Amino acid sequence: MTANRQEIPDAERLIFALDVPDLDQARELVNTLGNHVHFYKLGLEFFLSGHYFTLADELKQLGKRVFADLKLFDIPPTVGRATAQLARREVDFLTVHGNDGMLAEAVANRGRMGILAVTALTSLDRGDLDDLGFDCDVESLVLSRARRALALGCTGVISSGLEVPALRESVDHSLVVVCPGIRPVDNIDEQKRTLTASKAFEAGADYIVVGRPIRDAADPAAAAAGIQQEISNYFN
């Protein structure tokens, strides 16, 4: 187990993707999940609701952590200014999905916020990389981006759990690894490179991101509690 993994409270290793279209639904889910979730990811869908910062502030007042999954991608000065704007809020993580210049500007303007570099989206497979013109396999792309992110001062990376073992073998363990696309059973949606929670942590993940398996469950609180128990069992 790496040093940074030991420093993370077990209850915060689960990041819930609060992908809903409006503030009322978001508040209802936060209330339903209660103490079963301590870390929330707010993405583009909720950003466009117009209530992004209202909810982010409310979550911080409740003692929750906030992950702004905005995948910034623009010319470096714009990424830097956008990061500086967000750094004025109490946000814990921000994703940047860009090249070295974009990542460097985000790091330079992050304040106390952690910058997470997106390596390869979990919805992409080898065929998608071919379509996008990447002349490499997924693992090679992830390792290349992770090494560059670390060199540029990023806090961590977003990576499928399938690539984490290679990351842990080849990249400094101080790099925080956040794994999205976690599924409790065999997967049938658009996420192509997925793992269960336990398998992701076994591979070397620090945090996991779970959305639909909690949000769409008949009992979201019970679903979150079950994942938290799986995390507790693994680390203890």
> How many whole angstroms from its chain centre is CA 235?
20
Confidence check: pLDDT of 187 > 50: no
Could you say which DSSP state residue 107 is in? H
Structure confidence at residue 133 (pLDDT): 52
pTM of structure: 0.87
- At residue 138 the predicted structure's pLDDT band, cuts being 50, 70 and 90, is low
Which residue is catalytic, options 64, 71, 192, 199? 71
DSSP codes, 82-105: HHHHHHTS--SEEEE-S-HHHHHH
Helix (H) or strand (E) holding 81: helix 76-87
Token pair of 39 as six digits = 């870390």
- Residues in CB range of 183: below 8 A, 6 or more apart: 191, 194, 195, 196, 213
Mean pLDDT of 52-73: 96
| CATH class label, 3-235 | alpha beta
Residues 73-94 pLDDT 10s:
999 999 999 999 999 988 999 9
Cα Rg of the chain, angstroms: 17
Structure confidence at residue 120 (pLDDT): 61
Sign of CA dihedral 7, 211, 38, 196: negative
Per-domain boundaries in the chain: 3-235
Q: Please tell me whether residue 187 adopts helix, strand or coil conformation.
A: coil
Token pair of 123 as six digits = 């919805």
- Residues in CB range of 119: below 8 A, 6 or more apart: 141, 142, 145, 146, 149, 157, 158, 159, 163
Token pair of 198 as six digits = 């336990």
Alpha-carbon distance of 112 to 79, in angstroms, equals 16
Structure confidence at residue 142 (pLDDT): 76
Mean pLDDT of 178-205: 72
Q: Please tell me whether residue 117 adopts helix, strand or coil conformation.
A: strand
Active site residue 64: no
